[in-house]
C-alpha cells in the first residue's frame, strides 16, 4: 500500500510509463473493452481485444476507429516488425480492397496533366526504393499533458521505423508534370468516414512540395518486404519519414498537386496544429494563431530494459533504445540513473538513411538495492535537446518530446 501512495504522489513528475510499471509491480490488471458491432478485423484473446495481424500486446486506445499503440519494450528491434507498428486510423478500413483494379490518380491545378496508374503500372514503370523511415503520430505522448488535451490518450508507443518499399513520389509527380507554381500536395484515401457516408472524406492532408520531392518520400506498398498490413494502409500509402504520421495517407487513391497550402479535411482549424507562440496550460487559442506541424522534434525511447524490470544486484546490464529528430540526425544520447543529476554518454549508431531512427546503448550498473528511474535524453544535429519535463502545452496535445523515463528495481 505504501508503494501505491508514493507512486501516485509522483505522478505529475514521472512519465505515464512509470505508472504502468508501478501497476505491474502491484499486480494490477488492465481490462480492455470491446464492441462486437464494429466492422473491423478484431478477435478476442482472453480478456482483451486483439487486432488481427497485430501483436497481441498492443494497447488499444479506441475501437471506433481502431487506434492502438506498442509498449516500448516491444519496439526493441532495429527494424520495427509490421505486427508491432502502431495503428492510427481516422475512419474505417475500406470494406472491399480490389488490388487488381486499385488505381492512383495524380491531378491538380499545378499538374501539367492528369494521369491514373494501376498498382501494377506503378510497380513496372518506376524504379523501386526501400528506406527505413520513422513514422510517429503527432499526438504521441498526449497522455502526459496537463490539463488533458482532447484526442486519443497516446502514451509513448505511437512510433515505429520499418523498412518501406515503393516508388519515389517525386518520380511519379515528374511523370505527370509539375507546374512552377506548385506549393503543396494533398492526398485522398479510400477509408470510410465514421458516419458511413461514402461521399464524406475522412482525412486529406499533405506536405509542402519540397518535402514531397525528397528522395525518401515514398508511395509504398510493402513493409519489411511484405504487403502493407490492412490496418496500415494496404495496398498503397504515402510515407513521409520524420513528419506527423497524418501526412502519410493510407489506402491511397488520389494525389492533388496544389498551387496553395492544401485545404482538405484535418488541414485547418486545430487539427495537427500548435500555437505560433507559447501559451499557458489550458489557454484557448484562436485558430488564426495556430500553425501546421511539420517536422517532428528530437525524441528518444528506451526499449530495454522493460519498465518494471527486477534486476539482479551486482550485475551490469544494457540500456538501449532509439532516437530520432524529424528531418535532422541525432548527435548524442545520454542516460541518467539519478534523476538527471549526472548523465552518461551512450553509444550511438548512424542512421541507415535520412529519416531513419538511430539506436543507442550503454552498459551500466545500479549501485545498491532499491528503486531507480532510468532517463534518456537525445540531442539533434542542431544542438536541440529533449526537455526533461513536458514541453509547451497546446490545445490538442501534440509534440510531447519530454525525456523518456522508466522504472526498475535492483533486488
pTM equals 0.89
What's the Cα-to-Cα distance from 157 to each of 58, 68, 138, 143, 300, rounded to whole Å?
9, 9, 12, 11, 11
C-beta of residue 231 within 8 angstroms of C-beta of residue 51:
yes
Assess contact for 88 and 67: CB atoms under 8 A: yes
Of 1-10, 207-216, 285-294, 327-336, minimum mean pLDDT range: 1-10
φ, ψ (nearest 5 deg) of residue 174: -70, -30
User: Cell 527494424 appears where?
Assistant: 79
If you average pLDDT over residues 142-154, what whole number do you get? 95
Per-residue pLDDT reduced to its tens digit, 314-330: 899 999 999 999 999 99
81 Cβ contact list (under 8 Å, min separation 6): 55, 162, 224
Let me know: does 70 contact 86? Beta carbons within 8 Å: yes
Q: Does the pLDDT of residue 284 top 80, yes or no? A: yes
Q: To the nearest whole number, what is the mean pLDDT of the chain?
A: 90
Return the closest-CA partner of residue 221 out of 123, 126, 125, 136.
123
Q: Which segment of 14-18, 49-53, 160-164 scores lowest on mean pLDDT?
A: 14-18
CA distance 268 to 378: 31
pLDDT (mean) for 214-228: 98
Centre a 10 Å sphere on the Cβ of residue 123 and count the other Cβ atoms it contains. 14
Q: Is the pLDDT confidence value at 276 over 50?
A: yes
For residue 266, give Cα distances in angstroms to 65, 128, 193. 16, 31, 13
Cell numbers that stand for 160 in this block: 515505429
Domains located in the chain, CATH noted:
99-292 (3.90.420.10), 299-410 (2.60.40.650)
Mean pLDDT of 240-257: 98
Amino acid at each position: 500500500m505504501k508503494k501505491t501512495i508514493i507512486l501516485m504522489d509522483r505522478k505529475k513528475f514521472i512519465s505515464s510509463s512509470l505508472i504502468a510499471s508501478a501497476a505491474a509491480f502491484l499486480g494490477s490488471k488492465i481490462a480492455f473493452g470491446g464492441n462486437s458491432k464494429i466492422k473491423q478485423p478484431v478477435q478476442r484473446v482472453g480478456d482483451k481485444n486483439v487486432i488481427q495481424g497485430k501483436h497481441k500486446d498492443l494497447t488499444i486506445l479506441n475501437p471506433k476507429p481502431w487506434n492502438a499503440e506498442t509498449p516500448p519494450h516491444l519496439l526493441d528491434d532495429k527494424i520495427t516488425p509490421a505486427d508491432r507498428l502502431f495503428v492510427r486510423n481516422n475512419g474505417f478500413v475500406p470494406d472491399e480492397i480490389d488490388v487488381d483494379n486499385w488505381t492512383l490518380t495524380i491531378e491538380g491545378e499545378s499538374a501539367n496533366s492528369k494521369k491514373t496508374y494501376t498498382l501494377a503500372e506503378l510497380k513496372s514503370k518506376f524504379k523501386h526504393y526501400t528506406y527505413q523511415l520513422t513514422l510517429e503520430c503527432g499526438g504521441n505522448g498526449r497522455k502526459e499533458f496537463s490539463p488533458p488535451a482532447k484526442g486519443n490518450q497516446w502514451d509513448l508507443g505511437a512510433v515505429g521505423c520499418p523498412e518501406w518499399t515503393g516508388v519515389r513520389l517525386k518520380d511519379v509527380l515528374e511523370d505527370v508534370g509539375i507546374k512552377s507554381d506548385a506549393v503543396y500536395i494533398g492526398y485522398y484515401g479510400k477509408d470510410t468516414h465514421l458516419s458511413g457516408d461514402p461521399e464524406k472524406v475522412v482525412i486529406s492532408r499533405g506536405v509542402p512540395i519540397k518535402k514531397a520531392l525528397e528522395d525518401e518520400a515514398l508511395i509504398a506498398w510493402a513493409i519489411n518486404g511484405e504487403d502493407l498490413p490492412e490496418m496500415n494502409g494496404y495496398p498503397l500509402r504515402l510515407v513521409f519519414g520524420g513528419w506527423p504520421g497524418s501526412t502519410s495517407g493510407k489506402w491511397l487513391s488520389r494525389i492533388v498537386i496544389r498551387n496553395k497550402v492544401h485545404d482538405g479535411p484535418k488541414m485547418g482549424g486545430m487539427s495537427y496544429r500548435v500555437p505560433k507562440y507559447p501559451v499557458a496550460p489550458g489557454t484557448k487559442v484562436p485558430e488564426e494563431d495556430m500553425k501546421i506541424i511539420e517536422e517532428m522534434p528530437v525524441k528518444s525511447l528506451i526499449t530495454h530494459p522493460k519498465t518494471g524490470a527486477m534486476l539482479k544486484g551486482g550485475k551490469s546490464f544494457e540500456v538501449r533504445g532509439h532516437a530520432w529528430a524529424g528531418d535532422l540526425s541525432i548527435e548524442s544520447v545520454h542516460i541518467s540513473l539519478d534523476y538527471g543529476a549526472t548523465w552518461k554518454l551512450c553509444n550511438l549508431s548512424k542512421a541507415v538513411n535520412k529519416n531513419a531512427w538511430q539506436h543507442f546503448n550503454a552498459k551500466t550498473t545500479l549501485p545498491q538495492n532499491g528503486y531507480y528511474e532510468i532517463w534518456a535524453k537525445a540531442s539533434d544535429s542542431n544542438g536541440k535537446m529533449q526537455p526533461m519535463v513536458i514541453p509547451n502545452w497546446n490545445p490538442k496535445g501534440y509534440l510531447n518530446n519530454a525525456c523518456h523515463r522508466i522504472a526498475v528495481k535492483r533486488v
